Amino acid sequence: MTASTTGLTAPPELVQLLTPEGERIEHPDYKIDLTAEEVKALYRDLVLVRRIDLEAVALQRQGELGLWASLLGQEAAQVGSGRALTDVDMAFPTYREHGVAWCRGVDPINLLGLFRGVNHGGWDPAEHNFHLYSIVIGTQTLHAVGYAMGIQRDGAEAATIVYFGDGATSQGDVNEAFIWASVFNAPVVFFCQNNQWAISEPLEKQSRIPLYKRASGFGFPGVRVDGNDVFACLAVTRKALADARAGQGPTMVEAFTYRMGAHTTSDDPTRYRVADELEAWKLKDPIERVKAYLFRGELADQEFFDKVEAEADALGKELRRSCLALPDPAPEALFDHVYAEPHALMADEREQYLSYLAGFER
Amino acid sequence: MTVLTLAKALNEGLRAAMDADPKVLIMGEDVGKLGGVFRVTDGLQKDFGEDRVIDTPLAESGIIGTAIGLAIRGYRPVCEIQFDGFVFPAADQIITQLAKMPLRSLGKLKLPVVVRIPCGGGIGAVEHHSESPEAYFTHTAGLRVVACSNPVDAYTMIQDAVRSDDPIVFFEPKRRYWDKADVELGAPGLPLGKAKVVRTGNDVTLLAYGPMVKTCLESAAAAEDDGRSVEVIDLRSLSPLDMGVITESVNRTGRCVVVHEAPVFTGLGGELAARISEACFFRLESPVLRVGGFSTPYPPSRLEDHYLPDLDRVLDAVDRVLAY
Ligand SMILES: Cc1ncc(C[n+]2csc(CCOP(=O)(O)OP(=O)(O)O)c2C)c(N)n1
Ligand SMILES: [Mg+2]
């Protein structure tokens, strides 16, 4: 048997509804009708999310955050999928889903708290149906499937979406999540942002086939979508979520995109990747194409773009202000929330440490 | 003599080990072109090729599991776990397989696998990047567990670990990666299982390893200003323990404080305290005290200075053992 007889060499198909030049194209399986207002709202999301990210990078550079994982280049994948969710759907993110957090209504200052080191996240996952960030690669995929199994048992009409990267697809947990979801027909969407890199490792180190093709081996559909096309990400994710809610089980969505920045602010990508690649992807910018589309169709005027820009400036400023105003946690916070119920050892250690600290004041 | 950082000393040690034995392999996430997130494997892939310095898929269980297979086939893999908090997906392969397979073969099978783990906090990192999981591994029979504290030891210990026929978990103090010292390339060091007295003293013995050795040396220097003579021992080997060096010292000083970043509760300090109380009972002037992390998950970085033992907390314990 050769690769061609197994279908492994069939060229990957990519769902695209908006070209990098801002031209709208149709796809037989993914119809989407967006009003001018809806497109403008998506544009606004994209711009604001990018601004949050840029501000956070700047804050890290100035020593106000310990670290930041930039989403630059992945705005459309996150906003498209994030806006496909309804209030009752639940999202499980990695550490890079700032755009999804935005769509769910999580105040970005919460994200900064984690990266500044004042807490480990701390938002209430139930408040916006947006779970805490997961740093240990792939772990959240199983949680999402379990949550989806709960939805199923509740007889609720809702779905779960779980985010993970191309690198994460190698983890045992992720593969187990695929199996669970498949066997239990769980209402979950596996949303893989293939940004081509797992720190310094290119996709070839994780997979010999396009990632979305993995899904068929597990027994559910896989779709590759242009991850820099917010319309396509919205349409494809909407359909996958609707299928899940309708009892048709999981779908894997591979959003084909690119990590435009460093892995995190600690990383130096010049050590392992060439600038040409970056230049090529710059031409596929997720925001520029929506702007071009709005211009082309005369759906928005300069006043609109200026207004969004001003809103972004204000958001950046406010984020900076609230970041600098984040109080450092008090030392006794060390011992809070480790257990739900009173715990003798916590009480002892807390008391001992506070009395030790009090010794310095005397 | 060459001045090397601890990270570079490990790099030179690995290079020497790879030169000495073509069966030595390096495996891990980002160990190739990037040279590891701490640059410990910098340049090795360029010089030894992709077959010997392997950027693996992102799967820790896979790294250790395949390393075991390679070892069965006669290779000597040195695996890098990127950060302490990410060793747990590999826990099954380490604990149920790596540690026990040689015994199952009645000694016919040797698994010379080294698992390198950058450990400890103090670098302002986010969750899962600052942990001290050594006790999980010292609690697992079949593994040797060691921790280096300085460039000189790092250079020889990593070579000795690669040469050992036993599986070894090798802890590297990440906040000390940039510490520098004179290293004599090509020279052998103290054998792997040996503890070392790194500062002599008469009043109290401090036992430490990895990142806390430096903290203890600084504490001892500060204590000297107050007229206290503090001995510091770098354990180097956490399993087995070099009890000879430890008991000789504590029998002399009569007082002992164990310092580690890991939580005190059921940490290595408990084992040391128990063994010392058995071996030195009639010479002890005070109970063995422990200074370490709290029994909480490693805190967000803005609280880590509270969590981590520092000079003041070590000196406080020195005061308390001397008060008996
Ligand atoms: C279990 C585990 N191993 C290693 C790491 C270190 N690490 C953090 S991000 C990363 C790469 C992740 O790549 P990918 O899944 O493609 O996501 P991306 O960062 O590109 O969004 C690695 C290896 C980790 N966080 N968890
Ligand atoms: Mg990636």
Both tokens assigned to B74 = 């006669």
Residue A203 has pLDDT above 90, yes or no: yes
How far does B296 lie from chain A, in Å, by closest CA?
6
From the number of C-beta atoms within 10 Å of its C-beta (0-12, 13-18, 19+), residue A61 rates as: exposed
CA A168, CA B57: separation in Å to the nearest integer?
9
User: What pLDDT does residue A343 have?
Assistant: 98
How much is the ipTM here?
0.96
Which one, of B243, B244, B235, B305, lies nearest residue B274 by Cα? B243
Q: How confident is the model at residue A110 (pLDDT cuts 50, 70, 90)?
A: very high
Residue A10 has pLDDT above 50, yes or no: yes
Residue A146 has pLDDT above 50, yes or no: yes
Which one, of A122, A117, A199, A188, lies nearest residue A165 by Cα? A199
SS3 (DSSP) at B155: helix
Q: Indicate the length of chain B as a whole number.
A: 324
CA A253, CA A247: separation in Å to the nearest integer?
17
Cα A69 to middle of ligand 1, angstroms? 11
Does A353 contact chain B (CB < 8 Å)? yes
For domain B196-322, the CATH class is alpha beta
CB atoms within 10 A of CB A301: 11
A263 catalytic residue (yes or no):
yes
Residue A69 has pLDDT above 60, yes or no: yes
Residue A8 has pLDDT above 80, yes or no: no
Q: Matching CATH topology for B2-183 and B196-322?
A: yes
Ligand 1 proximal residues by C-beta, below 6 Å: A 96, 135-137, 165-168, 195, 197-199, 259, 263; B 29, 58, 60, 82, 86, 89
Instruction: For B100-137, write each residue's pLDDT tens digit.
Output: 999 999 999 999 999 999 999 999 999 999 999 999 99
Over pLDDT 70: what percentage of chain A? 97
Both tokens assigned to A43 = 């544009």
CB atoms within 10 A of CB B254: 18
Q: Where are the domains of chain B?
A: 2-183, 196-322
Q: Where are the domains of chain A?
A: 12-329, 331-362
User: What pLDDT does residue A259 have?
Assistant: 98
Q: Which of A167, A206, A329 sits opposite B300 (nearest CB)?
A: A329
Q: How confident is the model at residue A362 (pLDDT cuts 50, 70, 90)?
A: low
For chain B, the 3-state helix, strand and coil shares in percent, each to the nearest 5, are 40, 20, 40
B237-239/B168-173 β-pairing: unpaired
Both tokens assigned to A93 = 């993110």
Phi, psi dihedral angles at A226 (to 5 degrees): -65, 110
Please give the single-letter amino acid code of residue B73.
Answer: R
B89 vs A6, A228, A240, CA distance in Å? 32, 32, 30
Task: Using alpha carbons only, give the angle A283, A288, A292 rounded to the nearest 5 degrees.
Answer: 115
Cα A35 to middle of ligand 1, angstroms? 38
Which ligand 1 atom lies nearest to the CA of residue A74?
A: 21
In terms of pLDDT, which residue wins out, A5 or B134? B134
Phi, psi dihedral angles at A116 (to 5 degrees): -80, -25
User: What pLDDT does residue A361 have?
Assistant: 82
Q: Hey, are the CB atoms on B294 and A335 less than 8 Å from each other?
A: yes
User: What pLDDT does residue A266 have?
Assistant: 96
Query: What stretches in chain B show pLDDT beneath 50?
Result: none
Q: Mean pLDDT over all residues of chain B?
A: 98
Cα B302 to middle of ligand 1, angstroms? 23
Specify the range with the lowest mean pLDDT, choosing from A119-123, A172-176, B75-79, B117-121. A119-123
DSSP states of A85-115: --TT-EEE--S--HHHHHHHT--HHHHHHHH
SS3 (DSSP) at A350: helix
CB atoms within 10 A of CB A150: 15
Q: How confident is the model at residue A1 (pLDDT cuts 50, 70, 90)?
A: very low
User: What pLDDT does residue A11 have?
Assistant: 78
Q: How confident is the model at residue A9 (pLDDT cuts 50, 70, 90)?
A: low
Both tokens assigned to A222 = 């896989």
CATH fold for the domain made of A12-329:
Rossmann fold (3.40.50)
Catalytic residue among A224, A238, A263, A289: A263
What is the residue whose two structure tokens read 């164990």?
Answer: B258
Both tokens assigned to B185 = 């390339």
CA A102, CA A106: separation in Å to the nearest integer?
6
Q: Which of B59, B125, B265 sits opposite A171 (nearest CB)?
A: B59
Q: Hey, are the CB atoms on A205 and B299 less than 8 Å from each other?
A: no
| CA A352 from centroid of its chain's CA atoms | 42
What is the residue whose two structure tokens read 């149920």?
Answer: B96
Instruction: Calculate mean pLDDT across residues A241-261.
Output: 98
| Set of chain B residues whose Cβ sits within 8 Å of the Cβ of A67 | 125-126
Question: Is domain B2-183 in CATH 3.40.50.970, yes or no?
Answer: yes
How far does B288 lie from chain A, in Å, by closest CA?
17
Q: Which of B29, B37, B86 sits opposite A136 (nearest CB)?
A: B86
User: Is the torsion defined by CA of B302, B308, B312, B313 positive or negative?
Assistant: positive
SS3 (DSSP) at B8: helix
Does A327 contact chain B (CB < 8 Å)? no
Instruction: For A270-284, write each residue's pLDDT tens digit.
Output: 999 999 999 999 999
Give the number of whichever ligand sits closest to the CA of residue A196. Answer: 2
User: What pLDDT does residue B177 have?
Assistant: 98
CA B272, CA B257: separation in Å to the nearest integer?
10
Q: How confident is the model at residue A12 (pLDDT cuts 50, 70, 90)?
A: confident
Q: Mean pLDDT over all residues of chain A?
A: 96
Q: Kindly report whether the peptide bond that precedes residue B240 is cis, defined as omega within 30 degrees of 0.
A: yes
Name the closest residue on chain A to residue B301, using Cα atoms.
Answer: A117
What is the residue whose two structure tokens read 């999980």?
Answer: B136
A258 catalytic residue (yes or no):
no
- CB B130 within 8 Å of CB B304: yes
